[in-house]
Chains A and B, each alone.
Chain A
Amino acid sequence: MANKESKYKASKYKEPESSFVRQNKKLTKSEKREERKAWLFLLPSLAGILVFVLIPFADVIRRSFCEAMSNKFVGISNYKMVLTNEAFGLAVKNTVKFIGICIPLLLILSLILALLLYRQKRLEGFLKTSFLLPMAVPVASIVILWKLIFHEKGLLNVLLSHLGIGTIDFMNSDKAFLVLVFTYLWKNVGYDMILWLTGLNDISVSLYEAASVDGAGAFAKFRYITLPKLVPTMFMIGALSFINSFKVFREAYLIAGDYPDNSIYMLQHIFSNWFVSLDIQKMSAAAVLLILVFLSLILSFIRFDREEE
């Protein structure tokens, strides 16, 4: 099928040269030259990363074990302070809850959209544009809109009361959490839908044809061909959605400011509040703690990904 995607579907991209682990250390002359060229191309990027990310972060690790003023080594007392901080606990709890609810929801919703859109020839472009468009709507405008829509006297409540459901003050109650979940889904569903579509387009049509010959129904085909084939895609989408889940802070911050309803007080808030009070010690310790969590997640993800292959 001459699908529009086929031009740039994933199979176009080769796997990178498989692991270049060199057993013997001696390199031929041309290989040495090649290495030198590669590092030259990398140089600007690496230098920037060293100066702006890696070296400063090493400094933050050091600071996390020191006292603010005297710079004396204080062991893990900064960490104790962070871990016993009530606001920090609340923020961790909310962030985990948010991610735990949002990512599965987003994966399912965007998959449903992709399945509906897959092989939908009519209006394909328009539909894709529509679902991607939230990426273009400025965060601040979303905030104005949500105010009009989700306010106690807002447009959604007008609708709800017509349906005989009482009014809900979404913004200033624990329903704010739902608004944030909705915002996240609204913003990211298009991006993930495109990723799913790539995965779907990569499944060879002949598989389905063969299954049809064997008398498989639509559901059986979905269950035994589509789903298993999409598993690798799913992990990648999950990872990207995880990254994006930290960006809802923008909306959360603009909707409710530094001290929002307790239900949406996230890690991002506590960092920004500590920043305002220049609590470098706590921030350093918390950053180190978080990076440990992140590293273990990413590395186990990469290992799992390798095993899949």
Chain B
Amino acid sequence: MKRKNGCFLGFLLLLTLFVWIPVWVLCSGSFMGKDEILKNVGPVLGQAKGRASWSLLPVYPTLRAYVELLLDSPNFFTMFWNSCIQVIPVMAGQLLVSVPAAWAFAAYKFRGKKALFVLYIILMVLPFQITMVSSYLVLFRMKLAGTHLAVILPNIFSTFPVFIMTKFFQAVPGSLLEAARLDGASERYLFFRIGIPMEKSGIFSILILGFLEYWNAIEQPLTFLANNKKLWPLTLYLPNITTDNLGVAFSASVFVMFPALLLFLYGQKYLEQGITASGLKE
């Protein structure tokens, strides 16, 4: 039995290489100089003959790519900033909008609740492309197309966080709320002093899942900011530097990945809980 478990473990560790090798290539590449990268992957870029290769560690480690990224690429900062502007308000807005909505679904009875929740599920499942025309038309009419708000506003009203948070709030025992009501607690008290503190982890979960989603957004900025490239986020900046300067692309990748990695370090528990809640049957 023990032996078998050891085998499983070995096999799983082998599988993790599928993840760690690409991540390692990114990280090690960010410490390579231009010449070394060119020597390694020149063939892929069509700038050298032969085949690509890679060394485990950079032979001539250097921070030049980072220096170039941080000092000589003003675009990078603009777009990093754009990414922040397009992500942080979305997450704040989602909290303000979706947490109360989830509380309504979980803690109250009202007519049409079931049908409404099905509507929320449907909206959650629809791919971006289906609502792309309608969103664009309404943003255009509001004169928001080509502004940060075009990316921010529709995302705030995503129903995915409502769904997840509802699952969390449903864990609050109804009897507890009844008892508090009998003691004269106001509805506001129930929400702020019982619901939210008890299901804090749900809030962290939606924040983490939301961050991973919007930090990597491609479709929305590509569509709603099509005519205003100045506002493009990092995700759309990266593809532009691939061919001319791979080292910078690597170091930029590490930069973009870094906040997400931090979240994994400190919030993996919540990430797992959020994923779990997303899979619970309604």
Q: Please list the residues of chain A having a beta carbon within 8 angstroms of any beta carbon in chain B.
A: 8-10, 12-17, 19-22, 31, 34-35, 37-42, 44-46, 48-49, 51-53, 55-57, 59-60, 113, 116-117, 120, 122-123, 125-145, 147-149, 151, 153-155, 157-158, 161, 186, 191, 194-195, 198-199, 232-233, 236-237, 239-240, 242-243, 246-247, 249-250, 253-254, 267-268, 271-272, 275-276, 280, 283-284, 287, 290-291, 294-295, 298, 302, 305
Contacts and interface: CB of A to CB of B under 8 A. Distances in A.
B201 to A, nearest CB: 7
Nearest to A126: B16
Contacts of A55: 138
- B interface, over-half SS: helix
Interface of A is mostly: helix
Contact of B110 (A35, A56, A158, A275): A35
Nearest to A42: B104
B128 to A, nearest CB: 7
A20 to B, nearest CB: 5
- Most interface-central of A21, A52, A253 (chain B CB within 10 A): A52
Interface string B86-128: 0000000000111011011110111101101010011111111
Nearest to B136: A275
A130 B98 contact: no
A38 B110 contact: yes
A120 B15 contact: no
B215 to A, nearest CB: 8
A22 B112 CA distance: 10
Nearest to B261: A136
Interface in B7-39: 8-9, 11-13, 15-16, 18-20, 22-23, 25-26
B216 A117 contact: no
Given A57-B134, A116-B12, A136-B261, A130 B281 contact: no
Interface residues of B, number: 111
Given A250-B216, A267-B129, A298-B122, A120 B12 contact: yes
B132 A45 contact: no
B256 A39 contact: no
Interface of B: 5, 8-9, 11-13, 15-16, 18-20, 22-23, 25-26, 41, 43-44, 50-54, 96-98, 100-101, 103-106, 108-111, 113-114, 116, 118, 121-138, 153-154, 156-157, 159, 162, 166-168, 170-171, 173-174, 187, 191, 201, 212, 215-216, 218-219, 222-223, 226, 234-239, 242, 246, 249-250, 253, 256-257, 260-261, 263-264, 268, 271-273, 275-282
A240 B104 contact: no
A275 B113 CA distance: 36
Given A141-B253, A153-B52, A233 B279 contact: yes
Contacts of B9: 120, 122-123
B216 A138 contact: yes
Q: Interface centre among B13, B171, B234, B275, by most A CB within 10 Å?
A: B275
A31 B181 CA distance: 13
Contacts of B154: 52-53
Nearest to A201: B276
Contact of B25 (A14, A148, A236, A298): A148
Contact of B170 (A16, A154, A290): A16
A60 B13 CA distance: 50
B212 A145 contact: no
A56 B132 contact: no
Contact of A141 (B19, B130, B133, B256): B256
Contact of A42 (B19, B101, B249, B261): B101
Contact of B19 (A21, A130, A254): A130
Contacts of B264: 129, 132-133, 136
A273 to B, nearest CB: 11
A53 B108 contact: no
Given A56-B138, A148-B54, A268-B219, 19 more contacts: A20-B111, A20-B114, A39-B110, A42-B101, A42-B116, A49-B123, A51-B138, A55-B138, A56-B131, A139-B235, A140-B236, A140-B237, A140-B242, A144-B238, A145-B26, A194-B272, A195-B278, A247-B127, A249-B219
